[in-house]
Amino acid sequence: MLRGLLWALGVLLLVIGVFWLWVTWPAGGAPKIPVSPGTLAAAPPQHIPSVDPPSAPLVGGPPEACEGTGAPLGAAAANAFTLATLPWQPFGKLEIGWETYAPRIAAEIGTTCAPDTDGFASALARWQGTHGVQQSGVLSQATFQTMLTGWHLARPFVRMNRDGMCPGAPPLADLAQAEARESFGGKTILLRPGALESYHRMVAAAKEAGVLTRPETLTIFSGFRAPDADAQRCARDNNCQGLTRTICSAHRTGLAMDVVIDSAPGFGPDSSADANRLAMSRSPLYRWMVVNAPRFGFVNYAYEPWHWEWTGEALLPGVPISSLPKEGSEPIVTEPPADSTSGKPAAAEAARNRR
């Protein structure tokens, strides 16, 4: 009898011990942090959320309460202030405010509340609590860098780049051509067939959701780009450094596409001027896409609201990035691009920003 009791007690202690270990064990083998010696490398362990189904659909369901949610004191006011005033360099060049990224952040933290509300601050505090960031409810740079790392790593292309490799390009015969009405400006758009089919499904859903406001909305202005032609073009323009073009572009995979989101007056759909990116992020389409595009397998490069990569099939085996032609990828020392205030080596930026 006593022996039986002791035995049961032993088993119980063992179970408790295993449970304690399970709860307290550091989550997984934290993946190696990408590439750059800059801010990204300092980010805490990673989380890869962006291919999960969205936790808070933008449409449907009861409206979310956005006030009086018990957010950390002053958090909503702090977010309201920094939203348009924060000077920072999330992608290596100076930007003011974080409104451009607010829709993506809201999707990440699972709220439909505006960034200056209690509801947003509460959702952010909850997210911070589960991602090892100080639970302030305020969008700190550490919070954004942790999110950004997750967003980067949700892109198979970036994961391959992080290992120093550039994915292979499919033969032209393995690509499908988008219809003329799906192309912006009459360009020939080629994509992997799976990516094009998923794009069709996404367009149909966007249409149904009422977020296609103009005939050209969500048409494609760049799909597959042959590595040779891309390399020649960026070498010619001496802009292979990363923020505008790179020696290893995601467009070589046939899985990446640039789509018309919106544009500010006087800008084209591909201008990375801050005012233009802000206009895109304010559009109903982009707000819909950050929540819904992952359902169709698409992930976004956060700096470019127009650039989406389909994750539905594996990348082709790659070649070392170091083996690619370097023309045009040297850091510009004498005269930095007009919009760049970064003192970081261009190559490090390029590795992080490749798309």
Q: How far is the CB of 272 from Zn ion (least distance, A)?
A: 11
Nearer to Zn ion, 71 or 257 (CB): 257
* Number of residues in contact with Zn ion under rule CB under 5 A: 2
Nearest to 107 by CA among 166, 150, 169: 150
Residue 256 is classified by DSSP as E
Which residue number places its CB atom closest to Zn ion?
307
Q: For residues 99 and 258, which CB has a smaller minimum distance to Zn ion in the complex?
A: 258
Stretch that binds Zn ion, among 144-152, 166-174, 208-216, 257-265 (CB under 5 A): 257-265
Q: How far is the CB of 304 from Zn ion (least distance, A)?
A: 6
CA dist 296 and 35 (Å) reads 28
Compose the 293-332 pattern: x for residues touching Zn ion by CB under 5 A, - for all others. --------------x-------------------------
Of the pair 197, 270, the CB lying nearest Zn ion is at: 270
Give the Cα separation of 308 and 199 in Å (integer). 10
Q: Smallest distance from the beta carbon of 309 to Zn ion, in angstroms?
A: 8
Distance in angstroms (rounded) separating the CA atoms of residues 233 and 327: 10
Taking the least distance from each CB to Zn ion, the nearer of 31 and 170 is: 170
221 vs 39: CA distance, rounded Å: 32
Residue 338 CB, shortest distance to Zn ion, in Å, is 21
Closer CB to Zn ion, residue 66 or residue 257? Answer: 257
In the complex, minimum distance from the CB of residue 49 to Zn ion, in angstroms, rounded to a whole number: 22
Of the two residues 104 and 307, which places its CB atom closer to Zn ion in the complex? 307
Using DSSP's 3-state secondary structure scheme, residue 312 falls into coil
Contact pick of 108, 182, 258, 262 for Zn ion (by CB under 5 A) = 258
Beta carbon of residue 77, minimum distance to Zn ion (angstroms, whole number): 37
The CB-of-265 to Zn ion minimum distance in angstroms stands at 23
Q: Would you say 307 and 289 are in contact if contact means Cβ atoms under 8 Å apart?
A: no
Quote the radius of gyration of the chain (alpha carbons, Å): 22
CB of 107 or CB of 220, closer to Zn ion: 220
Piece in contact with Zn ion (CB under 5 A), picked from 3-11, 47-55, 251-259, 312-320: 251-259
How far apart, in Å, are the Cα atoms of 126 and each of 53, 275, 302, 347?
A: 18, 31, 22, 35
Q: Where are the beta strands (DSSP E) in the chain?
A: 87-88, 95-96, 165-166, 176-177, 190-191, 220-222, 256-259, 298-300, 307-310, 319-320
- Rounded CA-CA distance 159/51 in Å is 14
- Residue closest to 151 by CA, chosen among 286, 73, 40, 268: 40
Site string for Zn ion, 63-102 (x = CB under 5 A): ----------------------------------------
- Interacting residues with Zn ion (CB under 5 A): 258, 307
